[in-house]
A and B are shown apart, each in its own frame.
Chain A
Amino acid sequence: MSTHAGAPTSAPTSAPPSTDQSPPEDSARFRRNLVKVMSMQVVALLALWWLQARYAS
């Protein structure tokens, strides 16, 4: 059974402690997902715009 040392676990630093070390294929997947998400938003906004244009008096 492990025990935990109490925080602070490390000294404060002036630089951010962590950066993304994702492999290239993960970055590519993220970009693909990003394109899908933004496309979906554009479609949703266009659909809402069409609803307003057609039905709002």
Chain B
Amino acid sequence: MHPLNWAIVVAYLLYVVIDGLRAAKGTKEIEGYFLANRSLPWWAVGLSVMATQLSAVTMIGTTGQGATDGMRFVQFYFGLPIAMVILGVTIVPFLHGAKVFTAYEFLERRFDAKTRSLTSFLFLVSRGMSCGTIIAAPAVVFSAIFGWPLPWCVALIGVPTVIYTMIGGVQAVTWADVKQMFLISGSLIAIIIVLLVKLPVSPDNALRIAGSVGRMTPFDFSFNLSETYTFWSGILGGTFLMLSYFGTDQSQVQRYLTARSIPEARSSLLMSAYWKIPLQALILLIGVLVFVFYLFQAPPLLWNPAHDRSVRETRPAAYAQLESRYGDAIARRTDAALRLSDTPRSDASAALAAEGFRESEARVTAIRDEALVAAGEVTGESARDVNYIMPRFVLDHLPLGLAGFFIAAVLAAAMSSIAAELNSLSTATVIDFYRRWVRPEASDTHYLNVSKAATGVWGIFACVVATYAATLGSLIEVVNRFGSFFYGSILGVFILAMIRRATARGAFVGLLSGMACVGAVSFGLPQISFLWHNLIGAAVVVLVGLALGGNPGESSPART
């Protein structure tokens, strides 16, 4: 990469750390460190919610998914606006009004200490692990592209984030998120402009070419439980996933607990709901345009440069032959794409031109599949290289300076998600465990120091996990799948908390039953997509909880 691009990346990293240290000056008490004294404006909280959800996985994984699979992933987010509205009128008023530090603290007030501790513990386990995978996603890509050792890349992302989160607390996290969101949006818009300028066909024809090979199909109405991304899994499963994530995951709850008031907390969620589907559609559309761009520019046979080197060195003759066949297939595909673009839509030969393009695309895909199999055999790693498409495009084809901004934006996206998670992991550790069970009486200064230490320890843990999570397959799915084991069941407990007849025993047994049921479904019926696990978990917890609940007006067992 050009030194100017590196200068932009280094300048960004220094700015984030210095800005975080500046934010630390106003943080002297634990409420300021964890909740910014509940003083942040709704728009800052809303941007922070969006930035936290928009991770590096979104920047490199979702665009790659758009390039290879088209627009259908957008259905995953169809439930988000519905979930935000439901949360705005249900959980947000309860949590914000209860003046709690963590969502799980609320469960002790409603039920008992063991329900609080178990839900908080599940959060710590799942978020601690997922934080590692969020660091791993860009670290693996940077390592392969720049040829650096993986631990260096993990440190490049992890160390500045841990520093500003540890010292600045939620103030630093939120205001860094706001700036990072602008950087991310700016770089996405710049990429779209570059793509539109560089494409040799009109945008209309570009989308027509992409559509002819199934990349312009954002809706799939088939009711298929084994298909992850359908309209119904997005609306039903996605709503429950988003309800669980935004309603019960401390990394999200803590964002809106920093808002000045309940209406401001609600508005911050609605802001996120407002932009989410258009933003995700735009990111996928960038991927689709990158696919079209590479119809007219020779793409590499393997997007992962490390795998490319390995296969080239280990099987030089076979790989050269594959590359030769690939080159021919690419040339034929380019001709077919131009023919389709030049054929008017109303022309009788349009269907024939589309069919010709589909056949040429199938040939290219078949040769690439052979190369991926070889890469898997040679390296012993997952050969899936979707996450490398966007970085390769950026580094090979973006104008000078813009590549640096994109790399900085990927770092920004990673840091905003990691910072929020580290901050929330520290909050749950200190509030739900240390202050609750170890040291109930201590000064604010003591808790503040313990909180900073906890942030640092979780940061180190996440970096270690990231180093070992590197060989996982599709990271975007791993992160979501991991959460789905617990999310639905925890949501079920929060739903029970709002039902008068629910009792502490019902909530606790329901939680265990929900997780057991999701585990059984996950391993016993693996064909059921993970998006449905949230709905199953929540439903089982509520049903069991209500079955074990007392009559209306009856006291909770914990009170007797």
Chain B, interface residues (CB within 8 Å), range: 35 or more
How close is A32's CB to chain B, nearest CB, in angstroms? Answer: 10
A56 to B207, CA, bound (A): 9
In this complex, how many residues of chain A approach chain B with their Cβ under 8 Å: the count is 44
Query: With an 8 A cutoff between CB atoms, is B294 at the interface?
Result: no
B266 proximal to A (CB < 8 A)? yes
- CB contacts (< 8 Å) of B216 on chain A: these are 51-52, 55-56
Q: Say whether A15 contacts B500, CB under 8 Å.
A: yes
Contact of B81 among A11, A16, A37 (CB under 8 A): A37
A21 interface neighbour in B97, B218, B559, Cβ under 8 Å: B97
Is B84 interfacial (CB-CB < 8 Å)? yes
Q: Report the Cα distance A16→B27, complex, angstroms.
A: 32
Identify B441's interface contact among A5, A22, A30, CB under 8 A: A5
| Pair A30/B214 contact, Cβ less than 8 Å | no
Q: Within the complex, what minimum Cβ distance (angstroms) separates B548 from chain A?
A: 14
Q: For the complex, what is the distance from the CA of A56 to the CA of B354, rounded to whole Å?
A: 11
Say whether B554 contacts A4, CB under 8 Å.
Answer: no
B88 at the interface (CB under 8 A from A): yes
Q: For B300, list chain A residues within 8 Å (CB).
A: none
Residues of B within 8 A of A19 (CB): 93-94, 97
A-B Cβ contacts below 8 A, count = 159
Given the known inter-chain contacts A7-B105, A11-B559, A18-B93, please indicate yes or no for A52 contacting B218, CB distance below 8 A: yes
With A13-B109, A20-B262, A55-B207 as known contacts, state yes or no: A6 contacts B445, CB within 8 Å.
no
Contact B270 A12 (CB under 8 A): no
| Residue pair B444, A1 in contact (C-beta under 8 Å) | yes
Residues in B whose Cβ lies below 8 Å from that of A11: 558-559
Bound Cα distance from A9 to B440, whole angstroms: 11
Is the beta-carbon distance between A18 and B559 smaller than 8 angstroms? Answer: no
Tell which of A1, A4, A18, A45 touches B98, judged by Cβ atoms closer than 8 Å: A18
Does any Cβ of A come within 8 Å of B173's Cβ?
A: no
Considering the chains assembled together, what is the distance between the CA atoms of A29 and B84 in angstroms? 16
Question: Quick one: which of B237-284 are within 8 Å of A by CB?
Answer: 261-263, 266-267, 270, 273-274, 277-278, 281
Q: Is B319 an interface residue (CB 8 A)?
A: no
**Given A7-B440, A51-B218: A12 touches B97 (CB 8 Å cut-off):** no
Partner of B217, one of A1, A4, A56: A56
Task: Tell yes or no: B497 within 8 A of A by CB.
Answer: yes
Chain B stretch 198-218: residues in CB contact (< 8 A) with chain A? 207-208, 210-212, 214, 216-218
13 additional A-B residue pairs with CB within 8 Å, beyond A16-B500, A52-B71: A3-B443, A7-B108, A12-B110, A13-B556, A18-B98, A27-B263, A41-B81, A44-B281, A48-B218, A51-B218, A56-B214, A57-B214, A57-B354
Interface residues of B, Cβ cutoff 8 Å to A: 29-30, 71, 74, 78, 81, 84-85, 88-89, 93-94, 97-98, 105-106, 108-113, 207-208, 210-212, 214, 216-219, 261-263, 266-267, 270, 273-274, 277-278, 281, 354, 431, 435-436, 439-445, 447, 497-498, 500-501, 503-504, 550, 553-556, 558-559
